[in-house]
């Protein structure tokens, strides 16, 4: 039987651990830092602070001791993107020699401007590193509502092993070998969700939101291709699928953050960045795009608004008065 450990006892980590345990095909443990919380979860089978009203499966184990990692063949890193490198340093010594590490965060490392798989490979050079991403709210996953996401690894057979090990009756993973596309889709859709929230908060209308989603998807494709990923990935679950979910549902923290910006409310970006991945990803993605010579006007505008360099009215005027071009660039002949 496969042994899987999920590191991170927040809403998403707990939901993933629960849905995997429910399949009965793997022995699953949820690893968290708070000893008291893990003891409460073990005794009560409820995580009311993160997933109110959701009964966790009896087969799920709980631990605050990293030694639980010793026999795990698959380890999911479910903590914010900016905490992934430190988590690798903390838990790396306890990993089994053949463990596959899966990052489940949707962001870009701000300190290095690198994708999270690259960061984890630097910290854990002897382990295959994959990424799980796509349209899935923790509450939906934990309640057994139908959800589909992507899992990508450098080698397709690794991604296929992960998809078979983690998928269940209500949770389906599609394997891929495009880690770049899956990761940038997950990170950039958060930025675009903030943009959609700004549109909503500023009362700019549903037509503006639709245009923003479409043009944002085009931006996402350009950067993915420039970074070595595939445009088709952007049109899949981790790109378009996650963008539609996050840009339209008020369950999304990124959308709610953008609404506050659009309404003109002051926001503490330092505090919000820990929870709102897009607040970090906007400036990082903007820098990546400039380095690659890729135009990303929506992302640039969101980064400028968050940083206080641009107001919503000026950003709208700048976007609407850009030079007129065709919707899609014509292929070179």
Catalytic residues: 189
The residue behind tokens 């092993």 is 161
Tally of CA atoms within 13 A in the half-sphere of 85 that contains its CB: 14
Please state the separation of Cα 11 from the chain's center in Å. 13
CA-to-CA distance for 38 and 45, rounded, in angstroms?
10
CA-to-CA distance for 20 and 3, rounded, in angstroms?
11
The alpha helices in the chain, defined as continuous H runs, are: 11-21, 35-44, 84-91, 116-123, 138-142, 156-166, 179-201, 206-226, 231-234, 242-248, 253-262, 269-273, 277-292, 297-306, 312-320
Beta-strand pair 147-152/171-176: parallel
Shortest CA distance to 91 belongs to which of 55, 141, 127? 127
Tally of CA atoms within 13 A in the half-sphere of 14 that contains its CB: 26
Q: What are phi and psi of 175, to 5 degrees?
A: -75, 150
Q: How far is CA 34 from CA 24, 40, 69, 283, 284, in A?
A: 26, 10, 16, 32, 31
């Amino acid at each position: 039987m496969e042994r899987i450990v999920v590191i991170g006892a927040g809403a998403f980590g707990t939901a993933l651990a629960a849905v995997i345990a429910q399949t009965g095909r793997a022995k699953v443990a949820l690893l968290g830092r708070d000893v008291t919380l893990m003891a409460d979860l073990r005794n009560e089978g409820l995580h009311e602070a993160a997933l109110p009203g959701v009964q966790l499966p009896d087969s799920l184990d709980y631990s605050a001791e990293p030694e639980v990692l010793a026999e795990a063949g698959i380890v999911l890193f479910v903590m914010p993107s900016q905490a992934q490198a430190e988590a690798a340093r903390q838990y790396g010594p306890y990993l089994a020699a053949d463990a596959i590490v899966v990052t489940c965060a949707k962001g870009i490392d701000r300190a290095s401007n690198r994708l999270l798989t690259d960061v984890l490979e630097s910290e854990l050079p002897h382990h295959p590193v994959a990424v799980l991403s796509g349209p899935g709210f923790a509450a939906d996953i934990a309640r057994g509502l139908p959800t589909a996401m992507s899992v990508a690894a450098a080698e397709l057979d690794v991604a296929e092993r992960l998809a078979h090990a983690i998928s269940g009756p209500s949770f389906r993973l599609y394997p891929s070998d495009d880690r770049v596309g899956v990761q940038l889709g997950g990170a950039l859709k958060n930025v675009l969700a903030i943009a959609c929230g700004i549109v909503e908060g500023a009362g700019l209308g549903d037509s503006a939101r639709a245009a923003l989603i479409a043009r944002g998807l085009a931006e996402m494709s350009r950067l993915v291709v420039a970074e070595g990923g595939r445009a088709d990935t952007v049109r899949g679950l981790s790109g378009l699928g996650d963008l539609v979910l996050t840009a339209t549902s008020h369950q999304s923290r990124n959308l709610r953050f953008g609404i506050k910006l659009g309404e003109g409310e002051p926001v503490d970006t330092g505090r919000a960045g820990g929870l709102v991945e897009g607040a970090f990803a906007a400036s990082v993605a903007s820098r990546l795009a400039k380095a690659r010579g890729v135009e990303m006007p929506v992302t640039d505008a969101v980064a400028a608004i968050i940083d206080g360099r641009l107001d919503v009215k000026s950003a709208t005027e700048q976007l609407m008065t850009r030079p007129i071009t065709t919707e899609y660039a014509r292929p070179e002949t």
